[in-house]
Amino acid sequence: MFKSKEQFKEAFIDKMQTLFGQSLDESSTTDKYVALSTLLREVISKRWYQSNKQYRATKEKQVYYFSMEFLLGRLLGSNLFNLGLTELCSEGLSELGIELDQLEAVEHDAGLGNGGLGRLAACFLDSMASLQLPGHGTGIRYRHGMFEQKIVDGYQIELPDNWLRDGYVWEMRKADRAVTVKFGGHVRLEEQGGRLIAVHENYEPVLAVPYDVPVVGANCNTVNTLRLWSAETNHFDFSSFSKGDFLKAVEHKYSLEATSQILYPDDNYPEGKTLRLKQQYFFVSAGLQSIVRRYKRTHGAAPAALARIHEKVAIHINDTHPALAVPELMRILMDEEGLGWDEAWYTTRKTISYTNHTILPEALEKWPIDLVQALLPRMYMIIHEINERFCADLWKKYPNQWERIRDMAIIGDCYVRMANLAVVGSHSVNGVAAVHSEILKKEVMANFHQFYPHRFNNKTNGVTHRRWLAKANPKLATLITETIGSGWLAHPNELASLHRYAHDPAFQAGIKAVKQANKEKLAHYIQNKMNIAVDVNSIFDVQVKRIHAYKRQTLNALHILDLYNRLKADPNLDIEPRTFIFGGKSATGYYLAKRIIKFINTLAHVINNDRAIGGKIKVAFLENYSVSLAELIMPAADVSEQISTASREASGTGNMKFMMNGAVTIGTLDGANIEIRDEVGDDNIVIFGLTADEVLSYYKHGGYNALDIYHGNPRVRTVVDQLMNGFLPVSPDEFHSIHHSLMRTNDEYFVLKDFPDYAAAQETVASLYRDQSRWQAMAINNIAFSGRFASDRTVSEYAIGIWGTKPVVIRES
Ligand SMILES: *Cc1c(COP(=O)(O)O)cnc(C)c1O
């Protein structure tokens, strides 16, 4: 580590010479970024080595968090922060005439995820390392991560994400740890010495090569590992090649390596493509093989040792995407390590735990039997056997209850149901917010809850306050530390003492000034990027998240249209000026979501260019919402839009990032919004709309008619008509699909039903904002009570309640 600024500067200049053979003034910004990151990586590597050494020596239990997605964002800034080097390096660089911010901006976001689920995994890695827990990530090194979104003429255009173009300094290829994953072929059961042995023949081998990314803990020496698997092959088809068919040989190599080429850009809507199933098995099999290999080195390779793997290894599956971990661990323990079924089943269940992320029926993963059988024959055999035994148990407890058993079976209607597999094959099933966990127990998984009452629990999500407060909003962090000391950095619950300053005029002024500076920074970005001038004294009202019918960007947009109508009718209408900011990507094949993007951009075009309303409202859709853009937006928000149909958003984490940065939530009683309200109290949040129970009751028993609202409410009728009547400068059926979803399929997400209450809630927001002292007090209370939503709290609950893991204090290396 660097003892002083001087020593750092020397090392930096030296690194520039040894890496690139050039001096500082000859170097590009990219070179400087690479030199700085490489320097840090050397510091990190020593701690990494020491961490692994102690993990082996202490033999403490290890956690492996399996996730198809890790939405890491940039790592330079967070690594500097966690190493405690931000100040030293930024000052040192500045003395060399270099802005640290500019170097950070060079890094490509590691966008290996879609949204909330992938970002949660990234926050958990940060918290596990910072709590000194031996916890690692297992995932896929997608050659192309989340696509880059451009907005052209109001429409989303997708560009491939080429994040590895300039190399990735944070990864380390470990070719010697590669393993083989087998696809297709046939499995024969053969008797050998009184045991049935599975013989897998004619399979297609894919080589899985790990790329390790260090995960640096804050204020400790812990460095954990995120192991990302890449599909490669050393199996070049020489028979084709030697026959002169060079292209065929290359094609074959390419098709094997395709497995880790792309991230499927679907959020809460899994695509049932063969390649996706291949990805799932690929990283699950590779990950488990490497874990078992490591376990055997540390704890012994005899079957008796493997029968106790759950004592030293916890495997957590993030949603059902890695649910093949259940049959794959069974396969390894039985076919490769010689355990019998009962022993293997006992230890598999004790090892694996599962987080459910959604109750949206269309998001529940299921795979056609034919596909599983053809691509993963051994997996299918094991799943089939698990199902047979499970159904036999059910029959014993519930004789003749066919309906119930049909509902709970792992295989049914020609599909393998991954959630059922995950529940049966694990010892813990958790939801991600209190209301979501209750709905799981009472509705979606009620039969499972009755059968396994102790398996279900709740772990409310969190976000790392290091990235989302300290690093993203340094001015706020400084103000907080000046006011209550720096204890909150290690113990975010200490933020609560800010509550005492909620009505302190000086502190309010400080909070306001910080927000204003952050708004100016975002306004600059909007001006430069989109050529829209926004009023930094207006309310920054922000909805950024994936575009989805259930998240109801449509509700927000229709309300903006209504506000615009009222302003047109009365240009002197006394409203609080507002800037409506949107951001978010649509899945590539999600037609309705793409029209919602066009709708918002059309509103922006009309409203921003209408001089008659005197600039009182503006609309900006920021393209390419990503972790880095979120870090710019969250600190600048006054109002956080969390308006999903109650019961549909499992938790949300965007809501927590906004709260930490002092935005006031306007939201439904959904997901973690409910717990945010519980923390801040009704006076510091604006709640509206149907409750989850009301929504679930409508879904179950009917009773809602969207046309009643349309006919009964003139403001609603006007904005719905404006979608189709030529009011907007688009072709007549441009927004037909939005209109249709509201009027013809009875408004599945209750947009019209909640509209009047939402509009009233927005008036409440405006009148609260007018009382600036009141508003600043609300902002302060939101920051003060955000400690509960730090992922350190969440992860320590997982460690104690599910994984049974303890911290390991890593010595200085
Ligand atoms: C936090 C985050 C999300 C999740 O946002 P929600 O509002 O909870 O859906 C999605 N994308 C990015 C880039 C994020 O940082």
Q: Is 627 in the pocket of ligand 1 (CB under 6 A)?
A: yes
Mean of pLDDT values over 458-480: 98
What is the tens place of the pLDDT at every residue in 519-539?
A: 999 999 999 999 999 999 999
Residues 440 and 566 in one domain: no
CA–centroid distance, residue 115 to ligand 1 (Å): 5
Q: Report residue 552's pLDDT band, with 50, 70 and 90 as the boundaries.
A: very high
Mean of pLDDT values over 16-45: 97
Among residues 3, 63, 47, 42, the alpha carbon closest in space to that of 221 is found at 47
Taking CA atoms only, the protein residue closest to ligand 1 atom 8 is: 652
pLDDT at 321 > cutoff 80: yes
CA distance 208 to 139: 11
Neighbour count for residue 190 (Cβ, 10 Å): 10
pLDDT at 574 > cutoff 80: yes
Taking CA atoms only, the protein residue closest to ligand 1 atom 11 is: 115
pLDDT at 480 > cutoff 80: yes
CA distance 316 to 806: 16
Annotated catalytic residue within 32, 182, 357, 548: 357
Q: Report residue 235's pLDDT band, with 50, 70 and 90 as the boundaries.
A: low
CA distance 142 to 313: 26
* Per-residue tokens: 796: 């320590």
Q: State how beta strands 352-355 and 135-140 pair.
A: unpaired
Q: State how beta strands 617-622 and 639-642 pair.
A: unpaired
Mean of pLDDT values over 271-299: 97
Task: For residue 626, give the ligand 1 atom closest to its CA.
Answer: 13
Q: Is 358 in the pocket of ligand 1 (CB under 6 A)?
A: no
> Would residue 657 show up in a list of annotated catalytic residues for this protein?
yes
CA–centroid distance, residue 789 to ligand 1 (Å): 14
> Would residue 273 show up in a list of annotated catalytic residues for this protein?
no
The parent domain of residue 31 ranges over: 1-56+75-107
pLDDT at 403 > cutoff 90: yes
Residue of 432, 545, 626, 641 best suited for mutating to test ligand 1, as the one with most atoms within 8 Å of CB: 545
pLDDT at 233: 81
Residues 98 and 226 in one domain: no
Q: Is 652 in the pocket of ligand 1 (CB under 6 A)?
A: yes
Percentage of the chain lying above the pLDDT 70 cut = 99
Whether residue 82 lies inside any domain: the answer is: yes
Q: Is 110 in the pocket of ligand 1 (CB under 6 A)?
A: no
Q: Report residue 194's pLDDT band, with 50, 70 and 90 as the boundaries.
A: confident
Mean of pLDDT values over 294-323: 98
Percentage of the chain lying above the pLDDT 90 cut = 95
Whether residue 739 lies inside any domain: the answer is: no
pLDDT at 250 > cutoff 80: no
Q: Report residue 100's pLDDT band, with 50, 70 and 90 as the boundaries.
A: very high
CA distance 61 to 291: 12
Whether residue 634 lies inside any domain: the answer is: yes
CA distance 683 to 785: 13
Among residues 295, 325, 319, 318, the alpha carbon closest in space to that of 308 is found at 295
Residues 254 and 162 in one domain: yes
Residues 512 and 445 in one domain: no
Residues 397 and 500 in one domain: no
- The burial of 28, by beta-carbon neighbours within 10 Å (0-12 exposed, 13-18 middle, 19 or more buried), is given as exposed
> Would residue 653 show up in a list of annotated catalytic residues for this protein?
yes
> What mean pLDDT is reported for the chain?
97
> 313: which strand partners?
62
Annotated catalytic residue within 320, 653, 665, 805: 653
pLDDT at 237: 65
Q: Report residue 256's pLDDT band, with 50, 70 and 90 as the boundaries.
A: confident
Whether residue 706 lies inside any domain: the answer is: no
* Per-residue tokens: 728: 């907007």
> 205: which strand partners?
182
H/E element holding 457?
strand 456-458
Whether residue 583 lies inside any domain: the answer is: yes
Whether residue 414 lies inside any domain: the answer is: yes
pLDDT at 813: 83
pLDDT at 750 > cutoff 70: yes
Mean of pLDDT values over 476-480: 98
pLDDT at 792: 98
Task: For residue 116, give the ligand 1 atom closest to its CA.
Answer: 4
Residues 88 and 123 in one domain: no
Cβ proximity of 291 and 64 under 8 Å: yes
What is the count of structural domains for the chain?
Answer: 3
Q: What is the CATH number of the domain that holds 414?
A: 3.40.50.2000
Q: Is 289 in the pocket of ligand 1 (CB under 6 A)?
A: no
Whether residue 722 lies inside any domain: the answer is: no
Q: Report residue 392's pLDDT band, with 50, 70 and 90 as the boundaries.
A: very high
Taking CA atoms only, the protein residue closest to ligand 1 atom 9 is: 545
Residues 419 and 500 in one domain: no
Among residues 391, 306, 320, 293, the alpha carbon closest in space to that of 348 is found at 306
Least confidently predicted of 267-281, 524-538, 624-638: 267-281
- The burial of 507, by beta-carbon neighbours within 10 Å (0-12 exposed, 13-18 middle, 19 or more buried), is given as buried
Whether residue 704 lies inside any domain: the answer is: no
DSSP state of 144: B
Among residues 773, 765, 722, the alpha carbon closest in space to that of 558 is found at 722
Task: For residue 73, give the ligand 1 atom closest to its CA.
Answer: 13
pLDDT at 688 > cutoff 80: yes
pLDDT at 568: 97
Residues 301 and 403 in one domain: yes
Residues 551 and 475 in one domain: yes
> Would residue 645 show up in a list of annotated catalytic residues for this protein?
no
Residues 669 and 528 in one domain: yes
Q: Is 115 in the pocket of ligand 1 (CB under 6 A)?
A: yes
More confident residue, 269 or 648: 648
Q: Is 583 in the pocket of ligand 1 (CB under 6 A)?
A: no
Q: What distances in angstroms separate CA 266 from CA 66, 262, 586, 610, one per listed residue?
A: 18, 12, 8, 36
**Identity of the amino acid at 45:** S
CA R_g for the chain: 27
Residues 412 and 443 in one domain: yes
Residues 600 and 537 in one domain: yes
CA–centroid distance, residue 110 to ligand 1 (Å): 15
**Identity of the amino acid at 111:** G
> Would residue 546 show up in a list of annotated catalytic residues for this protein?
yes
pLDDT at 241: 66
Mean of pLDDT values over 26-34: 97
Mean of pLDDT values over 486-513: 98
What is the tens place of the pLDDT at every residue in 338-381?
A: 999 999 999 999 999 999 999 999 999 999 999 999 999 999 99
Annotated catalytic residue within 546, 585, 616, 753: 546
pLDDT at 796 > cutoff 80: yes
Residue of 148, 546, 634 best suited for mutating to test ligand 1, as the one with most atoms within 8 Å of CB: 546
Q: Is 118 in the pocket of ligand 1 (CB under 6 A)?
A: no
Residue of 69, 71, 547, 645 best suited for mutating to test ligand 1, as the one with most atoms within 8 Å of CB: 71
